[in-house]
Structure 1
Amino acid sequence: MKKLFPDYFIKFELPEGAREELIQVYRACKSGKCDRESFLPSFEEKSCNESSLSDPADPSEYSLSTYEKPKDIKRFVSMDSDMEDPCRIAIGETNPVYGLVQRTKERKPECKSSHVDWWLYKDATPYTEFKIIDNFKEYLANYKKERDKNK
């Protein structure tokens, strides 16, 4: 895969801290599967309509939204009216072959979540390396137990 970004990347500047990094992340899958539809960057989800963006110069408007912590993806899903309940959550890594990443709080210190922006290269297929978590409620409970045990 060539490391070329989609043509609409001329509309904004990638942040200075964008880099290749493997980060374990969670993604909410609107289609219920790990497929292209569930892994569209925000701009493409909005049909590449600039007027639907809150700030066309904000790099986050063009990234694929992911989260490092399962509690944050759960909160996102509960606040997003486009998500069906129960929403399917996938887990995977931000493989650098598909694009550049940055933890949003590195650029926006006011960000309190574990949101990770992932700017995908043209024709990237990151969904091929993600897996749906069968029972996210149970997964989250086990994650919390494990985290508490290790404190």
Structure 2
Amino acid sequence: MIFNNRHYPKFFPKGCPPAQAEQKKVKVYRLVEKENITQKDFKSYVELGNKFNPTRNPKYGEYALSVNTNYDELCNSVKSVPYLKKRFKYIATGQTYICTGVVCHDKSKNQPSHHDWWLYEEALPHKYFKIVSKTGGDLP
């Protein structure tokens, strides 16, 4: 995959993403709402109209996408969080290619494989991520 525009969106505040975020290729899983993956499935918390929380750790996580490197852990999170179970019906997988943005391991105690992924302005992960299962189990 070749992608030359490595600029962050203009709405990112100064210092975002944080310095510890790095370019790396990692296989990840992401919750999506519908079987047809769209660009909306790869919008950050802020892009979806939510407010920035300056006390959140890691800083600027609301500008990133939440992804996990462990499939089973993500499945367990969906089962234990009613909001996630209600909103997200599918799990998709793909790569955090170096040319799409930077990644930072969140090291959440509830989801040790959770990562924040800050996309470059013109990255289009919805074009190469694939559905791997329904949140309630395998695809029929």
Q: 1:21 aligns with which of 19, 24, 28?
A: 24
Structure 2 unmatched ranges of 5 or more: none
TM-score with structure 2 setting the length: 0.78
Question: In the aligned structure 1, how far is the partner of 2:41 from the partner of 2:85?
Answer: 11
Work out whether residues 91 and 132 of structure 1, in 8 Å CA contact, stay in contact via their aligned partners in 2.
yes
Which structure carries more strand by proportion? 2
SS at match of 1:43: coil
Report what 2:105 is aligned to.
103
Which structure carries more helix by proportion? 1
CA RMSD of aligned residues (A): 2.6
Report what 1:61 is aligned to.
62
5 Å matches for 1:1-151? 1-10=4-13, 12-45=15-48, 47=49, 49-50=50-51, 53-55=52-54, 58-78=59-79, 79=81, 81=83, 83-84=85-86, 87-105=89-107, 112-134=111-133, 137-138=137-138
Identity among equivalent positions (%) equals 27
Work out whether residues 30 and 84 of structure 1, in 8 Å CA contact, stay in contact via their aligned partners in 2.
no
Q: How has the CA–CA distance of structure 1 residues 86 and 104 changed in structure 2, closer, same or farther, with 3 Å as cutoff? A: closer
CA deviations on 1:44-80 (whole Å, 9 max, x unpaired) are: 12x1x42xx4337722111011000012221333315
Query: Which amino acid is 1:101 matched to?
Result: V
Q: How many residues align?
A: 132
Question: In the aligned structure 2, how far is the partner of 1:112 from the partner of 1:130?
Answer: 21
Question: In the aligned structure 1, how far is the partner of 2:7 from the partner of 2:86?
Answer: 33
Residue range with higher mean Cα deviation, 91-100 or 71-80: 71-80
Work out whether residues 102 and 116 of structure 1, in 8 Å CA contact, stay in contact via their aligned partners in 2.
yes
Residue range with higher mean Cα deviation, 14-23 or 69-78: 69-78
TM-score with structure 1 setting the length: 0.73
